[in-house]
Amino acid sequence: MPADRCPCMPFRLRVLAGPSISDLRPVAVNNDAEPMTINTPHIIGRLCVRIRDFTGIPNPGSSRTSPYFLQNNDQYSIQVQVRFKRVWSADDIVFGNEFERKLNLPPGSSIALRFVQWFDPGFEADIFSDRPWAYSPLLVTMNALRVDRGELQEHPIRDTNIVRSRELGLPAWPSLDGERVVESWEPSILSLPQHGVLNDSSERRRHFSVQPNRQSFEITPEHVYDMDFFNPYLDFNNYALRLPGGFRFRVLDYWDGQVSQAIIYRSRKTTLFTNFLIGRFHK
């Protein structure tokens, strides 16, 4: 019997994050003003996880919802502000999921896979293998991306992070009240001959879906990336996937206890930048 069908086992989602799977801390869900700081040998960054009408385990500092959701239909947001500590090419860094063992997938999973591949032109996956995985280049898959030189600023007084921006080497956190990331690239970082300054997410995704364009673009410690990953299709409260056309299934109906994790990784899997979202179900 699937875990969620047993009335004696009401499972709830808990959100954790950290530099590795063995070093995780609770994330304060929907806490716009106090993002979690993550410092690894490869990145320094901040993370805010938002879930609409959150019904999971409320880690200290969590809220039921965020003003982020007032004018959209999105079900969740993973917002990251990050500075990489050494030079990488855009082809090196991917965002995605992987699992330790084979998944118990529902009928129609191939339909969902084709939808994701249409939605994300850089998406690659093998969800039917013994160790399933799904990845896309970081600069392709993010829904919104702002890139600049990251000039250091002091936080507004309301920002109560223990470590201040200047000590982190990051600019002020841009979303104290749930403001969404607005696509923007500083011209000196990326400007395309046919489009000029790249301030359109669809053009950015189209450009970086071409591998030579990723290989020739350097991500350097001078750049700060404010990025947001969101959509209206994945309902974390019910852990259900809803796609256009009426396709829907509840993940818990097929869940076998595996941890769901989203990670930033080097594409050749030799460097783990961070496990920055781990979803675990608890009674």
The answer, yes or no, to whether residue 121 has pLDDT greater than 60, is: yes
- Edge to edge, the sheet with strand 76-84 lists 36-39, 43-51, 76-84, 224-231, 144-148, 184-185
pLDDT digits (tens, 9 = 90+) for 50-71: 999 999 988 999 999 999 999 9
pLDDT band per the 50, 70, 90 thresholds, residue 127 = confident
Cα→Cα distances 21→15, 50, 51, 252, 283, Å: 13, 21, 22, 22, 21
The answer, yes or no, to whether residue 157 has pLDDT greater than 60, is: no
Q: Which of 72-81, 163-172, 219-228, 266-275 has the lowest mean pLDDT?
A: 266-275
Q: What pLDDT shows up at residue 172? A: 86
Domain span including residue 40: 3-282
Q: Which of 95-104, 168-177, 261-270 has the lowest mean pLDDT?
A: 261-270
Q: Mean pLDDT, the chain, as a whole number?
A: 79
- Could you tell me the two tokens for 153? 């600023």
The answer, yes or no, to whether residue 36 has pLDDT greater than 80, is: yes
Question: Number of structural domains, the chain?
Answer: 1
The answer, yes or no, to whether residue 275 has pLDDT greater than 90, is: no
Tell me how many degrees the CA angle 64-70-243 measures, rounded to the nearest 5: 85
Q: What pLDDT shows up at residue 52? A: 96
- In 3D space, the residue among 192, 223, 221, 224 whose CA is nearest the CA of residue 205 turns out to be 192
pLDDT band per the 50, 70, 90 thresholds, residue 120 = confident
- In 3D space, the residue among 189, 174, 182, 186 whose CA is nearest the CA of residue 220 turns out to be 189
Q: What pLDDT shows up at residue 2? A: 40
Q: What pLDDT shows up at residue 260? A: 58
Phi and psi at 111, nearest 5°, equal -65, -45
Q: What pLDDT shows up at residue 80? A: 94
The answer, yes or no, to whether residue 4 has pLDDT greater than 60, is: no
List all residues 6 or more positions away from 258 whose beta carbon is below 8 Å from its beta carbon: 99, 100, 101, 103
Q: What pLDDT shows up at residue 219? A: 93
- In 3D space, the residue among 127, 96, 46 whose CA is nearest the CA of residue 264 turns out to be 96
The answer, yes or no, to whether residue 42 has pLDDT greater than 70, is: yes
Q: pTM for the complete prediction?
A: 0.83
Cα→Cα distances 53→22, 29, 76, 234, 241, Å: 29, 10, 10, 13, 16
User: Quick one: average pLDDT of 264-273?
Assistant: 66
Query: How many angstroms separate the CA atoms of 230 and 67, rounded?
Result: 15
- In 3D space, the residue among 33, 37, 1 whose CA is nearest the CA of residue 17 turns out to be 37
β-pair type (144-148, 184-185): parallel
Query: How many angstroms separate the CA atoms of 163 and 36, rounded?
Result: 10
Q: What pLDDT shows up at residue 91? A: 92
Label residue 51 exposed, middle or buried (CB < 10 Å: 0-12, 13-18, 19+): buried
The answer, yes or no, to whether residue 151 has pLDDT greater than 90, is: no
List all residues 6 or more positions away from 39 whose beta carbon is below 8 Å from its beta carbon: 19, 45, 168
Residue of 18 and 257 predicted with greater confidence: 18
User: Quick one: average pLDDT of 79-87?
Assistant: 93
Q: What pLDDT shows up at residue 278? A: 61
The answer, yes or no, to whether residue 35 has pLDDT greater than 80, is: yes
The answer, yes or no, to whether residue 242 has pLDDT greater than 90, is: no
